[in-house]
Amino acid sequence: MSVTSADGFVAAGCHAGIKRRRFDMALVATEDREPVAAAAVFTRNKFFAPPVAASRQRLEANGGRAAAIIVNSGNANAGTGAPGLADAEAMCAAAGEALGVAGADVLVCSTGIIGTPLPMDRILAATPKLAKKLSTEGGSDAARGILTTDHRQKQALVRGSGFTLGGMAKGCGMIAPNMATMLAFLTTDADVSSEEMTRILRDASDRTFNTLNVDGATSTNDTVILLASGRRGRPDLAEFAEAVHRVCEDLTFQMARDAEGMTRIVMLRVTGAASDQEARIAAKSIAENNLVKCSWYGGDPYWGRLLAAAGSAGIAFEAERSAVSYGGIAVSRGGTNVAHDDEAVRSHMREERIEIEVALGLGSGSAQVIGIDLGPGYIKENAKTS
């Protein structure tokens, strides 16, 4: 179950010395080193890292083709200016030379600390060794090589009626719905064009990755890439689109469960908004509110904090039309308390996965966000990051 499960791909991971002990580089390539159809979705953060610029430019220039992806973790190569772009280009060139392909056919991603130059001597020394390690069994090592503060590898696989789709991802902090929300790499042996994959990947990302909100922070480096070898012919596009959605959804929940300091996952639905857009705004406001997140950590069904966050989100809101429920049990209507089984609600709040609905009663707009609680673990991790 890995990024090499689909026919036509090999991968590897290694420790290059960017981090003290853990794997910190990964390489995914086509088995025959030929460029194949590629699609990608990148961060919308205007403070984007040089690797994002380099990969975006390549796909725009060649119409969506790639033969390899080189990745480093432990250093984001972000906030590094022109030298950082030169380093990203050098990583592509080095990978291309090691693989015997054009550097223009290599995509590049970095993740880690912002504002620090890459240790290029270590990266360039490790790249040929990484290329020599490439194999169909190397997917797990590659999944290790892309991790930063993650506690575990994140891999997913779907076998369709005539194709295979595999993927890996990293991400457990600096995640908010504004695609992309982390690094993710998917491969398939279906014969699908870059244009088709771009449309499908964007839709899947909006329905999965973009619903995950760990801390409201959109990263500088976030990238999702899908490569298609085409070895097993044309798929049913509807089935293929559903497979992409399933892999992205699987990886999304793996990231949620590995979120920094996470003790509870919250499936938050906002319904009855004036529009879907207003529902998304309200859901984002609630999921990012630190008071709300602390109440989730404490298992406290404090519905007032939910409505306060929705009411301050800048959308249409009328307290007398609102309702709030936890685990399907209504605790508030009309902006005030309603009689309910208090112990049943508190029991639900003790579970790892909490279901919450905030109904606004104004229209048919709705949205869902996967939220995470806020506790000492998150603060401990991010207080020492830099």
| Catalytic sites, residue numbers | 181
C-alpha count within 13 angstroms, C-beta hemisphere, residue 36: 27
Report yes or no: 23 and 147 within 8 Å, Cβ to Cβ: yes
- Can you tell me the distance from the alpha carbon of 126 to that of 73, in angstroms, rounded to the nearest whole number? 13
Burial status of residue 226 (CB atoms within 10 A of its CB: 0-12, 13-18, 19 or more): buried
Closest by CA position to 48, among listed 224, 222, 240? 222
Cis previous bond, 78, omega within 30:
no
Identify the three-state secondary structure at position 10: strand
Sign of CA dihedral 136, 141, 146, 152: positive
- Can you tell me the distance from the alpha carbon of 336 to that of 52, in angstroms, rounded to the nearest whole number? 47
Report yes or no: 228 and 8 within 8 Å, Cβ to Cβ: no
- Can you tell me the distance from the alpha carbon of 43 to that of 53, in angstroms, rounded to the nearest whole number? 10
Residue 370 host element (H or E): strand 365-372
Structure tokens at 92: 């592509």
Sign of CA dihedral 97, 99, 100, 104: negative
Report yes or no: 372 and 264 within 8 Å, Cβ to Cβ: yes
How would you classify the pairing of strands 365-372 and 265-273?
Answer: antiparallel
φ and ψ at 17, to 5 degrees? Answer: 105, 10
Report yes or no: 175 and 181 within 8 Å, Cβ to Cβ: yes
Single-letter residue type at 36: V
Burial status of residue 20 (CB atoms within 10 A of its CB: 0-12, 13-18, 19 or more): exposed
